[in-house]
Structure 1
Amino acid sequence: MALEGDELEAFIRRIPKTETHLHIEGALPYDLLHGMDSGRFPANPHFRSPSYRYPGFVEFENILLDHAVVWFNSAERYHEACKVMFDRMVSLNIKYVETSFHLHMIEFIGVDGRDILSAIKSAVPKELEVKVIGGMVRNGYSEKMQPILDNLHSWEELDGIDLHGQEWLELENWTPPIWEKCREAGKIVKCHAGEFGGPNKVYEAIDTLGSRRIQHGVRSVEDKELVKRLAGEGAVLDVCPLSNEKLQVFPSLEDHSLRELVDAGVTCTISTDDPLCFSNDILDEYRALAARLGFTKAELAQFAKNGFEHSRLDGEAKRKFISEIDSLLVS
């Protein structure tokens, strides 16, 4: 069933939703920066315009870091930003979140990683379940970070790990042992792949790192055997459509691979990635999928259900939210 207008708006607001691909530094509420220094951070910077497209990943990364490091200079600043961010998620009827913080901020700002982690978790409201992921870059095994990264599996309060950043860099030898130890410790093991890198990076994520949670993965369609494998093995792609458009992974959203992935049986979830840079929220993502890619009410609901089905919520909570989605489908 096609959705439009008030019916679409009401439906996407009412369905319980998840965010499973979200970077804390990239989700810094921009109004916090504007309120701190309106001269340096104008109300409507050019890169947050709906029509703006980033020339490439490096330019995007530079803007993100140039803004994030101004704010995130202490554990307390993480708590303050996350309090605003999480409260807004509740208002959008988001119930479950997997969000990563950039582990290398430990080195940048000289704050203990466990203090940052505690500050994030202490900002979580009772209406929201949040799992915190430690994100690292492919060339980040510095003298300072080595002992930290090697011991992430022992951080009981850390829910998972992720490899992000410049995807075209080679996978270094230190990485697979960390993924293996964290997987054995029961943590979520993710990997950014198949965004600016091709299918070979997705193969690397699933075969070398043992990840079945792929962040993006949208270029998997360039290898039909890979798509069959993702579908057959039950891998999950945490897709961020508007991010892909803004970063010109595809010429436009209408050219996105999501429809092909879904039709091939690949499990996908929908998230926002870096709202600081893209000026988007989860409602914008669902609106765009309906209005510009023709996803139906049932398909939008399935994206939401996928997020819960593959979450770390307990079985009762999963069933509750999935049942609520099913009820809204027939109302």
Structure 2
Amino acid sequence: MSDVDTGFLRSLPKAELHLHLEGTLEPELMFQLAERNDITLPYSDVEALRDAYEFGNLQDFLDLYYQGAGVLQTEQDFYDLTWAYLERCAADGVVHVEPFFDPQTHTARSIPMSVQFRGITRALNDGQEKLGISSRLILCFLRHLSEEDAFTTLQQALPWREHFFAVGLDSGEKGNPPAKFQRVFDEVHKLGLKIVAHAGEEGPADYIWQALNLLKVQRVDHGVRCTEDPALVQRLNDTQMPLTVCPLSNTRLKVFTDMSEHNIMQLLEQGLCVTINSDDPAYFGGYLLDNYLAVRDALGMTKAQAIQLARNSFTASFLSEEEKAGHLATLDKLA
């Protein structure tokens, strides 16, 4: 039985490090943007679309995800998407975010990089000014596309270099190992950008090794299959390599059949730097607070563990050491 109540978890200062902006597109906003842009969706109403959010695997989800992203057409659309997410963060006690976005999803539809960056960064700036939520934007490559396409995307993004802090690798892992993108991430490294990568969700533990050794990541997104390899768990612990774990996403996509089987608390108790995140909350049924609550309810998360998870979220962030220290001092007062 957990000793931590919902009010405490809501007020607990938290950072979110694994969140796809396109994955925050709620059915209501999707219909609103479709109407604004004169797009006809293949669903009769919001409820019909919500019903479609019942999927059995990652590919089914991705098919719906990319279809939904088609309503994002203008700078204002990207602003509205990002702002709606930040408002939810404010309600959940989230004070820092490092969201992903997938430019290839949009450039493939002839939506210029400038439209995406202007809309997203304007909302993030407003989030800092109006909500007190700081941010570091992460540009991601789609791993089901070619490395050549990733190189092109990186070049297209360079005029906007000041607006993104890191580069990631996302989309379906199967058949797309990190090694496929080693050369482009060598280039990212030379540019002085931080590097993160999805590995060890549907892909095997070996993909985590590749992310570490070939891509030289600063964080592993997901990483829950590390337990398949004790030597890998030891490496992650020794280096305090952050894992950005997404509990509700993992259960919806059947990485674990039930939250009670999730290994996040086991990894936390082993001393690994695990964090809680929401991934694609519009599709997986919960934003950051919902994920904390789900872990509490299924795995008996204690107050001390909740504070440690929040500490990890700041320690693993790309904030400056001074900024981290301020958040950690706040958490120390709650212990």
Verify same fold: TM over 0.5. yes
Which of residues 22, 34, 37 is equivalent to 1:25?
22
Post-superposition shift, 1:142?
Answer: 7.5
Deviations 1:10-65 (A, max 9, x none): 111111111100001011233212445683332772255xxx5x321111111212
Post-superposition shift, 1:95?
Answer: 0.9
Alignment check: 8 A CA contact 1:64 1:276 kept = no
For 1:1-331, list aligned pairs within 5 A.
Answer: 2-4=2-4, 8-35=5-32, 39-42=44-47, 45-47=50-52, 54-69=55-70, 71-124=71-124, 125=127, 126=129, 127-141=132-146, 146-150=151-155, 152=157, 155-171=161-177, 175-329=181-335
Q: Distance in 1 between matches of 2:251 and 2:245?
A: 12
Post-superposition shift, 1:156?
Answer: 2.7
Post-superposition shift, 1:143?
Answer: 6.8
Q: Distance in 1 between matches of 2:233 and 2:178?
A: 26
| Residues 163/106 of structure 1: CA separation in 2 closer, same or farther (3 Å cut) | same
| Residues 147/326 of structure 1: CA separation in 2 closer, same or farther (3 Å cut) | same
Alignment check: 8 A CA contact 2:142 2:150 kept = no
Alignment check: 8 A CA contact 2:15 2:310 kept = yes
Q: Distance in 2 between matches of 1:45 and 1:147?
A: 35
- Letter aligned with residue 265 of structure 2: R
Post-superposition shift, 1:176?
Answer: 1.5
Post-superposition shift, 1:324?
Answer: 1.6
Deviations 1:186-215 (A, max 9, x none): 322011000001101111111111113111
Post-superposition shift, 1:181?
Answer: 2.4
| Residues 47/221 of structure 1: CA separation in 2 closer, same or farther (3 Å cut) | farther
Q: Distance in 2 between matches of 1:34 and 1:229?
A: 46
Structure with the largest fraction of helix: 2
148-157 vs 81-90, greater mean Cα deviation: 148-157
Alignment check: 8 A CA contact 1:72 1:78 kept = yes
Q: Distance in 2 between matches of 1:44 and 1:136?
A: 27
TM-align CA RMSD: 2.3
Alignment check: 8 A CA contact 1:26 1:274 kept = yes
Q: Distance in 2 between matches of 1:118 and 1:304?
A: 30
| Residues 174/202 of structure 1: CA separation in 2 closer, same or farther (3 Å cut) | closer
Post-superposition shift, 1:150?
Answer: 4.7
Alignment check: 8 A CA contact 2:142 2:171 kept = yes
Q: Distance in 2 between matches of 1:201 and 1:143?
A: 20
Q: Percent identity?
A: 27
- Letter aligned with residue 10 of structure 2: R
Alignment check: 8 A CA contact 1:152 1:182 kept = no
Alignment check: 8 A CA contact 2:222 2:243 kept = yes
Q: Is the partner of 2:136 in helix, strand or coil?
A: strand
- Letter aligned with residue 317 of structure 1: E
Deviations 1:130-182 (A, max 9, x none): 11111112242387664233565672322111111110223477621221222
Q: Is the partner of 2:47 in helix, strand or coil?
A: coil
Q: TM-score, normalised by structure 2?
A: 0.88
Alignment check: 8 A CA contact 2:178 2:207 kept = no
Q: Distance in 1 between matches of 2:178 and 2:93?
A: 40
Q: Is the partner of 2:46 in helix, strand or coil?
A: coil
- Letter aligned with residue 107 of structure 1: T
Structure 1 residue runs of 5 or longer lacking an equivalent are: none
Alignment check: 8 A CA contact 1:243 1:273 kept = yes
- Letter aligned with residue 59 of structure 2: V
Deviations 1:272-326 (A, max 9, x none): 0001211201111111111111121111111111111122223332222212222
| Residues 265/187 of structure 1: CA separation in 2 closer, same or farther (3 Å cut) | same
- Letter aligned with residue 162 of structure 2: E
Q: Distance in 1 between matches of 2:246 and 2:188?
A: 25
How many residues were matched structurally? 321
Alignment check: 8 A CA contact 1:107 1:144 kept = no
Structure 2 residue runs of 5 or longer lacking an equivalent are: 36-42
| Residues 266/30 of structure 1: CA separation in 2 closer, same or farther (3 Å cut) | same
Structure 1 match to 2:38? none
88-97 vs 13-22, greater mean Cα deviation: 88-97
